[in-house]
Amino acid sequence: MRSGHHRNRGRAARRHRRRLAPSIVIGVVAFLVISLVGTGYTYVVQQRCEGMLTVTMVSAPEHATILSTLAERWLATKPSVNGQCVRLDVVSKDSAQVVDTLAPTWDARRHGPRPDIWAPEASTWVTLARGRPGTRDLLPPVSPPLARSPIVVAMPRPMAMAIGWPNQHLGWMDLFKRLSKDPRGWVGSGHPEWGQARLGIADPGRDTAALAALTALVDYDGDSQLSDTELAGALKFARAVNVVKPTTADLLLDLEKADAAGTSLTHLSAFPATERDVSQYNTRNPRVALVAVYPPEGASEADHPFVVLNAPWVDPVRRGAAAELLEFLNGPEGVGAYVENGFRPPDGKATSKTTESQGLLAAGGVKKAPHDAGILLRVIGTWTALRRSGSALNVIYASKSMAFRVPIPPVRAEVPKRPAAGVRTFPNSVRDLLCGRSLPVLASWCRRTS
């Protein structure tokens, strides 16, 4: 039996617990409320937006898919600028098309959404755009790279090894002469089964690798001038090329088909490409893999610049959004996505994927700044003139010996004039050949060198 003292002490303890219970509950509730209000306030601040800001990025197709994926990840962080939520639209468009259409008054009905940010494949296209009337002020003087990829000569591995890869490094002109000079083809290298060396190239007017390689090949002394000797070299190269396609992607697609048929070694021997092109082709496990040959004199590279336009419609709020996006793209997640897809990081250093077993060399090539817009346009114009289809051109040496008479027609130089295709005579130099084609892009250069 409990004593009275024990009963009294028990009743006092219960009364004390009853007195404490409300204060404890109130304290706990207050703590939870404060915590929830704090958490809720943070969420509301992050989510509260007065309107939606749409930023448009026009990207080269070569990395538009990567940028679209990264855009989704960035938007998942719920970015906002000056109280406005941000929406990012990534539009895929050829860099050459942007060069042709970029203007202070962008026609959205004809050319699609006007860009706030331009992400071409290379600064070469920015240089060309800056050379057009009315667009210079739209472009910043410098734009940071998102990823890099050297310009290389892509070759099937057995063929590259036959000319000394990876230890021997041939220059652009040396490589061209080595592959095109010997009429016996690959017989001299001990592989008659490969037949003639076959060269390919994309259209330099729309393809980064083709334009960089052709410029390095034509201006092989690197003085940013095109002499008659260099133009003659361009003519020889144009005649030696066997396969011309609109883009490097088209060359690779055809090569992949030939590889599936077991004929890749007789289909194409060498063509300009980016290092990333070689890497991505090899990830598909072809029968004959490609390797990257890095000419020692180098070339401009595919540096994928992030260009925030100085256009009237790019206001400070959009610039703020672009700055936040660039910080994300140059961060671990953005750089990692590019590296995973065969690119080098913005600093150009080799990665775990840049290995000889993958057909790549860690040292890469020599990086060169793009030529100025004038020489780039002359290279494109020269190539267009030399490769123009749909008309026949007869080149006739107009010396005195051509004036002696033959029965019909009366003068030898008149013989080719009978066909409807027509004839022109160019007695002096390769310059006369090019300037005689009446290409607007070469007009100013022809006047200066007349």
User: What would the pLDDT profile of 127-145 be if each residue is shown by its tens digit?
Assistant: 999 998 889 999 999 999 9
Residue 61: pLDDT band (50, 70, 90) is very high
17, pLDDT greater than 90: no
Region 5-31: what's the mean pLDDT? 45
- pLDDT value at residue 446: 62
> What CATH architecture does domain 151-293 belong to?
3-Layer(aba) Sandwich (3.40)
Instruction: Give every CB contact of residue 172 below 8 A, 6+ residues apart in sequence.
Output: 153, 213, 216, 217, 220, 295, 297, 299
Residue 443: pLDDT band (50, 70, 90) is low
CATH of domain 52-143+305-342: 3.40.190.10
What pTM does this model have? 0.76
Least confident of 127-131, 220-224, 343-347, 351-355: 220-224
Q: Are 350 and 344 in contact (CB under 8 A)?
A: yes
Helices 316-329 and 332-340, axial angle in degrees (round to 10): 60
φ, ψ dihedrals at 424, nearest 5°: -135, 150
Q: Are 132 and 98 in contact (CB under 8 A)?
A: no
Instruction: Give the H/E segment covering residue 200.
Output: strand 199-202
Which has the closest alpha carbon to 348: 267, 450, 274, 237?
A: 274
150, pLDDT greater than 60: yes
Q: What's the CA gap between 323 and 319, in Å, rounded?
A: 6
Dihedral, CA of residue 364, residue 347, residue 344 and residue 248, to nearest 10: -70
User: What would the pLDDT profile of 354-409 be if each residue is shown by its tens digit?
Assistant: 999 999 999 987 888 888 898 899 889 888 888 775 444 444 444 444 443 433 33
- pLDDT value at residue 209: 96
165, pLDDT greater than 80: yes
User: What would the pLDDT profile of 91-131 be if each residue is shown by its tens digit?
Assistant: 999 999 999 999 988 888 898 899 999 999 999 999 999 99
- pLDDT value at residue 240: 87
Residue 34: pLDDT band (50, 70, 90) is very low
Q: Are 356 and 166 in contact (CB under 8 A)?
A: yes
Q: Are 218 and 375 in contact (CB under 8 A)?
A: no
User: What would the pLDDT profile of 167-206 be if each residue is shown by its tens digit?
Assistant: 988 888 888 888 877 777 898 888 999 999 999 999 999 9
Q: What's the CA gap between 231 and 433, in Å, rounded?
A: 10
